[in-house]
Amino acid sequence: MLKKRIIPCLDIRDGRTVKGISFVNLRDAGDPVELARAYADQSADEIVFLDITATHEKRKTLAQLVEKIANAINIPFTVGGGISTREDVSVLIRSGADKVSVNSAAVIEPRLISSLADSFGSQCIVVAIDAQFTDGEWMVCINGGRKVTGLRALDWAGEAERLGAGEILLTSFNRDGTKKGFSIDITSAISDRVNIPVIASGGAGTMEHFRKVFEETSCSAALAASIFHFGEILIPDLKRYLQNNNINVRL
């Protein structure tokens, strides 16, 4: 049986791991290569690396770091942050990334998704959606949450799938960094709308939050950052807990 995936996310800036509350007040949580190796040893199912400052600072994700990570771990990993062209993707894939995630650039130019899917295959194109609950609707926000678009998150997810996305990484911007739990409503709505895998992100604070998102939505994976980085939840403990609650995970 296909297992539900647990994915630690490493936010990267200047080659180091950072995580703050709602993407500000950054704290240094270590060397990404060392952390990646530690997570692979702890049975993390995948790792996501996001260059969180890339979009507004126009910084390219470091291909060298990707190469070091590829050398260090034997599980899949995704790289995102500021990706806007085929060349960006090509460099990362050649450096050893299994998947890339696109966010703002795809919202601005949706055909980027189909162009990337045609060139590299849908399976390595993750569309990251940052969703913000505004005036009774979940809307897509871009540029690290600084700009709310007029696009409904549910519609955008459907469009991303139609254009060839292989997976959706859905972050609830209202919950990100709050440790109040995943946003069940939008995660459920998008998981039911699309036929590609959906990764739930934003708000994980306890093991119960993971159980709830897997029990109450049909998402394929759940992602978290600081609770893993600072050892508040250990992935092996989380997986045993989920297994004991009849959620199939890789132990």
Contacting range for another protein; rule: CB under 8 A; set: 31-39, 118-126, 138-146, 201-209 = 118-126
Using CB under 8 A as the criterion, what x/- string covers residues 85-114 for binding another protein?
A: --------xxxx-x----------------
Cα–Cα distance measured from residue 35 to residue 168, given in angstroms and rounded to the nearest whole number: 24
Backbone phi, psi, residue 97, to 5°: -70, 140
Q: Which residue's CB is nearer to another protein, number 144 or number 166? A: 166
Question: By C-beta, is 7 or 142 nearer to another protein?
Answer: 7
| Closest to 104 (Cα-Cα) out of 144, 77, 134, 137 | 144
Q: C-alpha distances in angstroms, 244 versus 6, 235, 238, 240? A: 15, 14, 10, 6
- Interface residues for another protein in 173-202 (CB under 8 A)? 195-197
Task: State yes or no: is 185 an active-site residue.
Answer: no
Residues 36-55 that bind another protein (CB under 8 A): 40, 43, 45
246 binds another protein (CB under 8 A): no
Among 1, 136, 231, 244, binds another protein (CB under 8 A): 1
Contact status: 157 vs another protein (CB under 8 A): no
Going by the DSSP 8-state scheme, the letter that residue 10 receives in this structure is E
State the minimum distance, in angstroms, from the CB of residue 98 to another protein: 7
Which of 11, 51, 88, 176 does the annotation list as catalytic?
Answer: 11
Q: For this structure, is 41 an active site residue?
A: no
Query: Would you call 141 helix, strand, or coil by DSSP?
Result: strand
According to DSSP, residue 108 is labeled H
Provide the 3-class DSSP secondary structure of residue 216: helix
Q: Are strands 147-152 and 137-142 parallel, antiparallel or unpaired?
A: antiparallel
Contacts of residue 29, defined as CB under 8 A and 6 or more positions apart, other chains included, come to 17, 18, 19, 35, 226, 229, 230
Positions marked active-site: 11, 130
**Site residues (vs another protein, CB under 8 A):** 1-3, 5, 40, 43, 45, 70-71, 74-76, 93-96, 98, 120-124, 166-167, 195-197, 220-221, 250-251
